[in-house]
Amino acid sequence: MGDAGGDGVEQQPQEELLEKANKLKEQGNKQLADGHLIQAVELYSQAIDLVPTAVFYGNRAFTYLKMENYGLAISDSDEAIRLNSDYVKAYYRRASANMVLGKYKLALKDLRQVVKTHPGDKDARLKFKACEKAAREAAFAAAIMQEEEEPLCTRVVVQDILVDPAYDGPALGEDLTVTMDFVRAMIERFRAQKLVAKRYVVAVLQQAFALLRATPSLMRLRVPADGADGKTGAFTVCGDTHGQFYDLLHIFELNGLPAPDNPYLFNGDFVDRGSFSFEVVTTLLALKVACPEAIHLTRGNHESKNMNKIYGFEGEVKHKYDAAVMTMFAEVFCWLPLCATLNDKVFIVHGGLPSTDGVTLDDTEGIDRNREPPESGLMSDLMWSDPQPFEGRSPSKRGIGMSFGPDVTKAFLDGNGLELLVRSHEVKEEGYLVEHDGRCITVFSAPNYCDQMANKAAFIRFGHDCKPQFTQYEASPHPPIRPMAYATNFSGFGM
């Protein structure tokens, strides 16, 4: 018999506990492979409760990386390294999380340790070089910003970009006006897995840049009036689309193309993860240029250079076009508005609410947004924060932004004369989730996220009373190009 614990319950032998823990770990690995990330975290946590080991913490850290909970991934990696300073994958995963957060010095420190202790690890050397390159590029970009160089979007002469004589796709006229007919033809070309000429992509980007730059950080939107034909006015809000172009087309099949009497707001994270991100964001921007009152766009945390470098959009654009086009996309992203109100009742934002009390709508409207997202402050909060079920505020599981409770939601809405918060930023099993006493809704519009999450997706329609009406839908078939096909190897480090 083993020695009884202080609570009078006989303790199990360590070998038996470890066997149970390893079975939980294997179950967690299966859930992870099947895309059930929450269940995987629960199983790894149960294993850790039985016998905390570096591997269990490392597996949970990997799962947190896939969930974009970078703060938790760093915390678990720290614990794994404390338990086993030779556990290489923990250094990799901590480096990956810090890379996403733009903390290149910390990432390099971990990778330098790996290279030093495992000099024969070719993969480690490659990752170290990639991190060094990203750090240099970030420093160079910061220096250019300080010099206030004229944006490429305003310097490129579109007419100087030649169109291949063999090009047989949709074209713009001499005045380069983007029309709805052009957009419809472009969508069909994208559906057939064909690209449009670079000249027309650049024209869309230049015009979107000018249009968005003239838009305030807070958009004050209205549900359209009822039509003369008796059609009731409605406004549609969509969440993350993450490069899932064929699911975007399904939204339009269900709900109609954007139009002045059928307006949409797409609430950030148009790109990354899905490998048709170029098609998604170019379609949305072209619709915005062709009919500005038909579609509105807010910025998500994935509309940023650092995320695009790691999660695929940069690689995709460089594969389909070139670095100059990617630079123009980055410039356009910096002018995307950060939030909106609908009928002075609904507050719409990608991430969540401020980390301090007393913030007003005027404060959000006054944000100087033409930059990459900062690590903290109001702009960061709006793009990165998440709701939590309990009251108050807590450090974010993502390592940036804050978690906010129902009391914070109530105080912000009541203080600004609003009724409802709509945000995105998190995958939900049913495509949406209503919480905080019905005053906070998360909407996510990428079904079967990354081809593995098996989640439904949803969008919301609002009438004049601003009461939400949900439409759910399943994933649509797409060509056999896997998600993350263009991502760097910093997007995760295997099991």
At 209-264, the pLDDT tens digits run 999 999 999 999 999 999 888 889 999 999 999 999 999 999 999 999 999 999 99
DSSP H helix total and E strand total for the chain: 18, 14
Domain with CATH 3.60.21.10 in the chain: 153-473
Q: How confident is the model at residue 122 (pLDDT cuts 50, 70, 90)?
A: confident
Alpha-carbon gap, residue 111 to 118, rounded angstroms: 10
Q: Which helix (H) or strand (E) holds 324?
A: helix 323-333
18 has pLDDT over 80: yes
The terminus-to-terminus CA distance of the chain in angstroms comes to 37
**Which residue type sits at 266?**
F
Domain with CATH 1.25.40.10 in the chain: 14-145
What mean pLDDT do residues 72-91 have? 96
The answer for residues whose C-beta is within 8 angstroms of residue 187's C-beta and 6 or more apart is 249, 283
304 has pLDDT over 90: yes
Q: Verify whether residue 302 is a known catalytic residue.
A: yes
Fold adopted by 153-473: Purple Acid Phosphatase; chain A, domain 2 (3.60.21)
What mean pLDDT do residues 17-35 have? 95
pLDDT in tens, 391-408: 999 999 999 999 999 999
Which one is catalytic: 36, 250, 302, 436? Answer: 302
Q: How confident is the model at residue 144 (pLDDT cuts 50, 70, 90)?
A: low
57 contacts 31 by C-beta, under 8 angstroms: no
What mean pLDDT do residues 359-378 have? 97
Across 15-19, 323-327, 469-473, least confident range: 15-19
For a pLDDT cut of 70, what percent of the chain falls above it?
Answer: 95
Instruction: Report pLDDT for 80.
Output: 98
pTM above 0.95, yes or no: no
Instruction: Report pLDDT for 490.
Output: 63
92 has pLDDT over 70: yes
Residue 394: both structure tokens together: 């807590």
Q: How confident is the model at residue 137 (pLDDT cuts 50, 70, 90)?
A: confident
For a pLDDT cut of 90, what percent of the chain falls above it?
Answer: 85
Instruction: Report pLDDT for 228.
Output: 82
Alpha-carbon gap, residue 449 to 456, rounded angstroms: 9
Class for the domain spanning 14-145: mainly alpha
204 contacts 286 by C-beta, under 8 angstroms: yes
What mean pLDDT do residues 365-369 have? 97
* Nearest CA-CA partner of 439 in 471, 407, 470, 394: 407
